Structure 1
């Protein structure tokens, strides 16, 4: 079975490149819903999900489409198990997976992942570990803006991913940039 490459950005708050994405009169509490109608998922940084009560996380799931996924970046320090389990449970079928930091050992974090996919960020120069069930690579800034460069990067990434699920992490790129990447991935048959 072949898996898709999914481009994701961090957070749904209005970024510097999103001046014209959110309508001027859109209430701030509707941004997640508006965002989820355009993209497939979002990376949520620890500072944005760890302090959030499970009831609010469940509310997030009611504000998004049925196919939208939340990919939670795991905190660096492991006393996260309880917070991780609560977040995973609250997000239910909208939970996409854990994005682990470079310094974490994948084996040590299996207990927080339950039955969810495991993602691992790796450096472009690193060898892909055989035990990684899925990959999460940061898209270089130079490739984000240039779709020709993006194409070459995506083709290399697809080769290295070798059929495993793969996330293309785009930081705080504008929503329009991520949408262009979604279209490029579809055109290349990688989605």
Structure 2
């Protein structure tokens, strides 16, 4: 059975969203609601979510629908701050979908927050990347490329993720412009994976 795959971006305030995605006159503090109107999940870089205060999390939660999901990226496990994760969990509740670990040995949390890792030994907790190929994985994929103009290559990556994913529902985070995310959504729709 093929999974249903949603697309998400890396940080609504990231540079890839600052070049034409938001209207020029849109205030910065309206960017998250604008982003959330297009995409139902976001992957926040570790530096950003660890610097967020309780007030930041409360504001962000109030600006999105209940179905919006926050995924937190863990790029540097050695600088992981459990207190920052606990603050996010306390404010977001089920809207904190999980931690996506991109480097190092998988962290184990007793907090009940799911962790998916590139290095996870179990497929259900493994993050898919373009380098993973057909290795079984859980419900999270990460796609970073310099060029998304080759739609056949993008389709091949999406099909590889769909074939490797062992979950019924999944999310593919794409570190690219909103146009590339839209192309991925169109491909998913054409493949019957949306």
TM-score, normalised by the number of residues in structure 2: 0.79
Change in 2 beyond 3 A, CA 1:110/1:4: farther
**2:181 maps to which of 156, 178, 182:** 178
5+ long unaligned stretches in structure 1: none
**1:134 maps to which of 130, 139, 150:** 139
Superposed structure 1 runs of 4+ greater than 4 Å apart = none
Aligned ranges for residues 41-80 of structure 1 at < 5 Å? 41-74=41-74, 75-77=76-78, 79-80=80-81
**1:160 maps to which of 159, 164, 169:** 164
Deviation (angstroms), 1:52:
1.3
The 8 Å contact of residues 8 and 171 in structure 2, kept in 1 or not, is answered as: yes
Q: Any idea what SS the aligned residue of 1:138 has?
A: strand
> Distance in 1 between the 2:30 and 2:12 partners?
10
Size of the aligned set, in residue pairs, is: 183
Change in 2 beyond 3 A, CA 1:147/1:78: same
> Distance in 1 between the 2:116 and 2:162 partners?
15
Deviation (angstroms), 1:16:
4.9
Deviation (angstroms), 1:99:
0.5
Deviation (angstroms), 1:140:
3.3
The 8 Å contact of residues 119 and 136 in structure 1, kept in 2 or not, is answered as: no
TM-score, normalised by the number of residues in structure 1: 0.80
Q: Which residue of 2 aligns with 1:8?
A: 8
The 8 Å contact of residues 14 and 22 in structure 1, kept in 2 or not, is answered as: no
> Distance in 2 between the 1:36 and 1:14 partners?
14
Deviation (angstroms), 1:35:
1.0
5+ long unaligned stretches in structure 2: 119-127
Q: Any idea what SS the aligned residue of 2:26 has?
A: coil
RMSD: 2.6
> Distance in 1 between the 2:115 and 2:138 partners?
6
Change in 2 beyond 3 A, CA 1:141/1:190: farther
Q: Any idea what SS the aligned residue of 1:170 has?
A: strand
> Distance in 2 between the 1:175 and 1:126 partners?
25
Q: Any idea what SS the aligned residue of 1:64 has?
A: coil
The 8 Å contact of residues 117 and 133 in structure 1, kept in 2 or not, is answered as: no
Deviation (angstroms), 1:45:
0.7
Deviation (angstroms), 1:43:
0.9
Deviation (angstroms), 1:17:
6.3
